[in-house]
Amino acid sequence: METPFAITLPVGTSRANHTGSWRVERPVYLHRLPPCNNACPAGENIQGWLYHAEAGEYESAWRTLVEDNPLPAIMGRVCFHPCESACNRVQVDEAVGINAVERFLGDVALEKGWALPGPGPETGRRVLVVGSGPAGLSATYHLRRAGHAVTLVDGAAQLGGMMRYGIPAYRLPRVVLDGEIERILALGVQVRLDHRVEDVAAEREAGAYDAVFMAVGAQIGRRVSVPAGDSARIVDAVNFLHAVADEDPPLLGRRVVVYGGGDTAFDAARTAKRLGASDAVIVYRRNREKMPAHGEEFEQALGEGVTMRWLSTISSFEGERLVVEKMALNEGGFPEPTGEFEELDADALVLALGQDTDLSLVAEHPEISVEGGVVSVADNLMTGLAGVFAGGDATPADRTATVAVGHGKRAARGIDDYLAGRESVTAPKHELADFSKLNTWYYADAPRQRRPELERVRRQGTFDEVILGLTEQNALFEARRCMSCGNCFGCDNCFGVCPDNAVMKIADGEYEFNYDFCKGCGICVAECPCGAIEMVPERI
């Protein structure tokens, strides 16, 4: 019997109905901002280079990375990776090991001799960069890429700033530091070492520079008055670490006390142990919750035999006796003296109470505002003196190497705009791809890969690197743990689940909607693993 409602379609005609007029919403593909990218102080396109890394395209990954950060092998060792704290995967199991993969790519690039992108067409403009730490090196790289001639000056005998003179070699091997610096210098950079800039404007005028970037760092250790019978046995941590980097360490003795609670305090204590101290004690006036040092530094130090004296302050240092007063936290969380004292045996006291920046080079210029020991700058990092920019530790910001790298890039763009007579404009950001936008049931369980460590016994008396790198297999696995938050990675889900064949595959991993057939059901949005589709109201 013939079906009463059968319809015969012409040959080649689709059986799908045109449903566009039924919709009140339509799906659209979009790009959201991955939280790792958003949290990176250097402004790296982390998701972008992870995408190449997970395909085994390591050079493409590295080249995407160095568009923003020319020091990946360094940052893969010393960055405290706020990107991982922001990673959405931490709500599934553990954050993607972004820092470990970055280091892997940086090390592969050094091993294979990959060169940075070459400089742009020469502009004829000259820029002075004062300071060769992470901010200065980053600015130098980005300025050369823009085609400007760069003179890089530093008061020390070698380049690297606090990366060389403040970070011990067991955290940052000098062969890695030198390798990434040499790659930047290969772009054509004039270097002046052992040269102290006394007056920024005078130096600019004498050298006929069109702009200046001050990246002088915080290399002055803060002092505190400690009554002592022999002040020669009190050293500040900055000078101590600098002397060790120059292979001229002071003789501290067997019992070393470090006063402070930041990363520098732990670097000083761990270094003292490597120089032969049997006891390295950190005295800190607050508790663990209030300590500014990063957790990784703290755990490594404890594992190497460094001990802690919490809620304590140093009152005096006489002979071999160091007098410590116990502290107690008040209701506001601030330490207060208790009047209770103890004695510690000590041969030397290392002060690690923070660092200041030498800003004497701007002292004669009231246009450059200095407040709280740092230089006030605009969004493009220009000071109140036209053409003079500042970044890194010299400005109000977190004092980390990664922040400094980001400042170098931002300052270079600001300088390029200034020299071209353009107004600096900050590009708007995409909507953040938060965890609620994801469908994580599509992602398989994948345990985070751990970086191996040098055995504890082998750390005694040596500055060999402690945290080692991932193997290629582990780095590849770790990169593939990325969930591509907010951006399509070509999984074909939308293409496969659409009941109306409204998703068209226009290229490998690229799609578009045929709205003639889409009825706005939203299944594609519900089933997109990475949150790269959203429903928007129809325009009437």
Query: Encoding tokens for residue 82?
Result: 């706020």
The pLDDT of residue 318: 84
Write down the pLDDT at residue 20. 53
Question: What token pair was written down for 391?
Answer: 């970044």
Residue 7 belongs to a domain: no
Q: Both 364 and 341 in a single domain?
A: no
Mapped onto helix, strand or coil, the DSSP state of residue 60 is helix
At 451, which CATH number?
1.10.1060.10
Q: What CATH code is carried by the domain that includes residue 226?
A: 3.50.50.60
In a domain, 60, yes or no: yes
The per-residue pLDDT for 333 is 84
Domain that residue 327 falls in: 222-354
**Do β-strands 190-192 and 149-153 pair in parallel, antiparallel, or remain unpaired?**
parallel
Q: Which of 384, 401, 381 is nearest to 393 (CA)?
A: 401
Q: What is the mean pLDDT of each run of 10 residues along the chain (540 residues)?
A: 38 45 87 97 98 97 98 97 96 96 98 97 98 98 98 97 96 98 98 96 97 93 76 88 94 95 96 96 94 92 95 90 93 90 94 92 94 94 97 93 97 98 90 93 89 91 95 97 95 93 89 93 94 89
Is there a domain that residue 46 lies in? yes
Residue 164 sits in the same domain as residue 141: yes
CA pair distance 218, 179, nearest whole angstrom: 24
CA distance 427 to 379: 12
The closest alpha carbon to 38, from 72, 74, 87, belongs to 87
Domain with 27 in it: what CATH number?
3.30.70.20
* Domain-embedded: residue 121: no
Whether residue 226 is found in the same domain as residue 350 = yes
Indicate the DSSP class of residue 468: -
247 and 188 housed in the same domain: no
**Tokens representing 204?**
């600019």
Total of domains in the chain: 4
Burial class (CB in 10 A: 0-12, 13-18, 19+), 422: exposed
Whether 432 is in a domain gets the answer no
Identify the pLDDT of residue 1. 38
Residues 496 and 472 in one domain: no
| 361: nearest Cα among 216, 165, 516, 474 | 216
Q: What is the pLDDT at residue 115?
A: 98
Q: Are residues 345 and 261 in the same domain?
A: yes
236 shares a domain with 276: yes
What sections of 246-288 are H helices per DSSP?
Answer: 263-274
For residue 80 the two structure tokens come to 């405290």
To the nearest 10 degrees (0 to 180), the angle between helices 98-112 and 472-479 is: 130
Q: Are residues 230 and 341 in the same domain?
A: yes
- Rg of the chain (C-alpha set): 28
CA nearest neighbour of 349 among 269, 439, 412:
269
Q: Apex CA 218: angle with CA 214 and CA 224, to 5°?
A: 145
Last residue of a domain, which of 334, 354, 374? 354
pLDDT of residue 7: 35
What lies within 8 Å, CB to CB, of 382 at 6+ separation is 388, 389, 414, 418
CA 218 from chain center: how many Å?
Answer: 17
Q: What is the pLDDT of residue 513?
A: 96
Do the domain assignments include residue 498? yes
Do 296 and 257 have their domain in common?
A: yes
Using CA atoms, how far apart are residues 278 and 461, in angstroms rounded to an integer? 11
Give residue 350's pLDDT.
96
Query: What pairing do the DSSP bridges indicate for beta strands 355-356 and 348-351?
Result: unpaired
How many whole angstroms separate alpha carbon 502 and alpha carbon 498? 7
Cα–Cα distance, 518 to 198 (Å, whole number) = 69
In a domain, 8, yes or no: no
**Which two structure tokens, joined as six digits, stand for 179?**
């390798």
Percentage helix, strand, coil for the chain under 3-state DSSP, each rounded to 5 = 35, 20, 50
SS3 198: coil
Same domain, 235 and 335: yes
Nearest to 532 by CA among 498, 493, 504: 493
Distance separating alpha carbons of residues 162 and 238, to the nearest angstrom: 9
Please indicate, yes or no, if residue 427 is contained in any of the structural domains.
no
Taking each continuous run of H as one helix and of E as one strand, the counts in the chain are 17, 21
**What is the predicted pLDDT for the residue at 221?**
86
229 and 336 fall within a common domain: yes
Q: Looking at the DSSP assignment, which residues form a beta bridge with residue 307?
A: 281
Q: Tell me the CA end-to-end span of the chain in Å, nearest whole number.
A: 45
The token pair at 202 is: 């005078």
Q: List, in sequence order, every residue forming a beta bridge with 14; answer none if it has no partner.
A: none
Listed residue (181, 163, 235) closest to 401, CA to CA: 163
* 97 and 134, same domain (yes or no): no
User: Which of 371, 391, 420 lies at the terminal end of a domain, its last residue?
Assistant: 420
